Chain A
């Protein structure tokens, strides 16, 4: 009993409670909420964001941030459109986009590890840089050139009702869980996040870990951009604009500390579900636009406020007891 109680007191427990209430309210509000179609749809509508959120967990755990992810998504989607339009076959074009993603990510990592520049600054610059490049590449138009197999891969289910993008997400989720919980690399990620100097003096190759993470972040973002292009069947320069905010919101709401070192993938899974279900529930109740954005915003503020309040109250009591 006390174990259950302790679990409920943790952040994950708190999120689970919110999640359960969101699911309850949604199911009562709309009969279509629990339908398989709707469940698949609500994941599909945000699949690119939640895929990138998985790698963002690693980056933020490492006490870094990558603001350039959404711009990289746009850049990779636009590059793909442009390459295919200029007659390059689909498969090499896809490969090239992923390489560009990894290189862009490594470029971020290079400035952060070699020149010790803050990731906030470097990736902010690349947020503008990648987006600018995407816009320059396709100019003010949309490109719609993809072969039908590519579009149906992005739009049609391939396993029962489940489309490829959701399978990729689940695969990456399991991979992220394993790496973070059961490998030495995962432990390095946490230790560097807790205290970079300690990690350095313990003989951890901090730069190498960071470089790997940022390269992976670029790669995954490019992959998400490709999936985005397949889902919409057309690309344009503003694809994924300001998605980075939603992605970071999900990770922080999941209890990952913005200062690094603490948080878990489980919490992020819960927060992803909360955000998606809340959005979907509001849409099904015909609440759109600014109200929807506002509710998610309030949720984020609470997610930062509540742990701090809790700590303040605890400290206060502890002092009284002394």
Chain B
């Protein structure tokens, strides 16, 4: 009796070890999957970089299927994303990777795609309700983004304190909203008590609108010391606006930016400090997860671990920033300043 129990335990234990070992999925190459990478819209450098990463992974996997990079125009982003997703479903694509700009409005189309057996993965910006989405490839922890933004604000404004404002992308980009919310949460800590968030405006990730919004912020808040733009388009536009107006001594710019676009502003002091992650890696990791899901090598459940080529092992976990939904967390942040920006800009 006793032995039997012991044997059962041993068997169970072996099975457990076995299942963990099996959970470390290493991608089988050469399986066919037609995949689509969809950015928020076309013409944004970071999305092109993500496409580079996805292409790199695509050739590594020797996937005989096609990898398409399809996106809408900026003015037509929401309707365009829904249309591309619907068409991809009709075409019988095996998987799609979405940087969602349509909020929950894309959920019905995503659910239809899932019903047809298509793999739906989001990256960069998830579906808020996670309806129709199997997995979200998160660039960084969204709460950490809040802290990084708050820290940069504190660093730049200094211990004496002052006012700052956020120049965000579009109101329904769920990544932006999550970061802004996380930053507001982080700001509640006592060490940030002297820096004050006075406004939040949207530039819709369009250079001209962001530029004008940055200038409008100055008119509205004459004591503004910093514009925090958690978007690569917004931060570059705001920095340019401050430089053009000769205001870089008075109002600094920070947020999430691309070293190549920001290097001159960092060196001349307009944007002394900003942060980002690698979009090439994000595209690469998204591709691996999507390829593995589309070729049924992973199921997309919490606890599964897979190897994403040169980037190493990643585990699927519950997404703490949304009620439902799962994520794969990439991370980490790189904070850029005069010391390292030039090297990264090349």
Contacts and interface: CB of A to CB of B under 8 A. Distances in A.
Interface string B176-216: 00000000000000000000000000100000000000000
Interface stretch (B20-28, B68-76, B220-228): B68-76
A32 B91 contact: yes
A288 B41 CA distance: 10
9 contacts: A37-B90, A142-B104, A142-B128, A144-B104, A233-B104, A238-B78, A288-B42, A289-B71, A290-B42
A108 B54 CA distance: 51
Given A37-B90, A41-B86, A140-B202, A288 B104 contact: no
B84 A234 contact: no
Contacts of B75: 241-242
Contacts of A234: 103-105, 107
Interface of B is mostly: helix
A197 interface: no
Given A45-B83, A142-B172, A284 B71 contact: no
Contact of B129 (A144, A155, A241, A242): A144
Contacts of A238: 78
Contacts of A237: 171
Interface of A: 30, 32, 35, 37-38, 41, 45, 139-142, 144, 151, 154-155, 231-234, 236-239, 241-242, 279-280, 283-284, 286, 288-290, 293
Given A41-B86, A233-B104, A284-B87, 4 more contacts: A234-B107, A241-B75, A286-B70, A289-B73
Interface of B: 41-42, 68, 70-73, 75-76, 78-80, 82-84, 86-87, 90-92, 103-105, 107-108, 112, 128-129, 171-172, 202
B68 A286 contact: yes
Nearest to B75: A242
A277 B96 CA distance: 23
Nearest to A139: B171
Candidate in A142, A232, A288 with the most chain B CB atoms within 10 angstroms: A288
A283 B82 CA distance: 12
Given A35-B90, A41-B86, A41-B90, A233 B108 contact: yes
Nearest to B105: A232
B150 to A, nearest CB: 21
A231 B82 CA distance: 11
A32 B116 CA distance: 14
A97 to B, nearest CB: 18
Contacts of A284: 87, 90-91
A51 B80 CA distance: 19
Contact of B172 (A30, A41, A45, A236): A236
Nearest to A35: B90
Contact of A142 (B42, B72, B90, B103): B103
B171 A283 contact: no
A233 B107 contact: yes
A45 B89 CA distance: 13
Contact of B108 (A32, A35, A232): A232
B88 to A, nearest CB: 9
A282 B103 CA distance: 25
A290 B77 CA distance: 12
Contacts of A236: 103, 105, 171-172
Nearest to A236: B172
Nearest to B84: A288
